[in-house]
Structure 1
Amino acid sequence: MMSVKFKYIYQLFLTQFVILLIACLMIGLSISHFFKRLFF
């Protein structure tokens, strides 16, 4: 019972971490693109 709950929580954290990582990547890319357009 406890191991299944732990596995579920671990999976939830893992998916949230991946989503956060992808979101940060997208934001970073858009910001770099914006600055490139602003300065060059």
Structure 2
Amino acid sequence: MTDSHVEQGVEVIGVVPSILMVVGGLAIAILPAIVQVVILMK
């Protein structure tokens, strides 16, 4: 039982940075578009 819990912990530790990288990449890709929309709205 303890081994499976350790594996799950390692998987979570490995998944979180990848998710953050994906979210960060999307934010960097989308931010310029959002800024342009805000500028156009004004």
TM-score category of the 2 structures, normalised to the smaller one: 0.5 to 0.7
Gaps of 5+ in 2: 36-42
Count of aligned positions: 35
Runs of 4+ in 1 over 3 A off after TM superposition: 37-40
Gaps of 5+ in 1: 1-5
Taking structure 2 as the reference length, the TM-score comes to: 0.64
Taking structure 1 as the reference length, the TM-score comes to: 0.66
- Taking only the aligned residue pairs, the percentage that are identical comes to 6
The RMSD of aligned alpha carbons is: 1.4
Pick the structure with greater CA Rg: 2
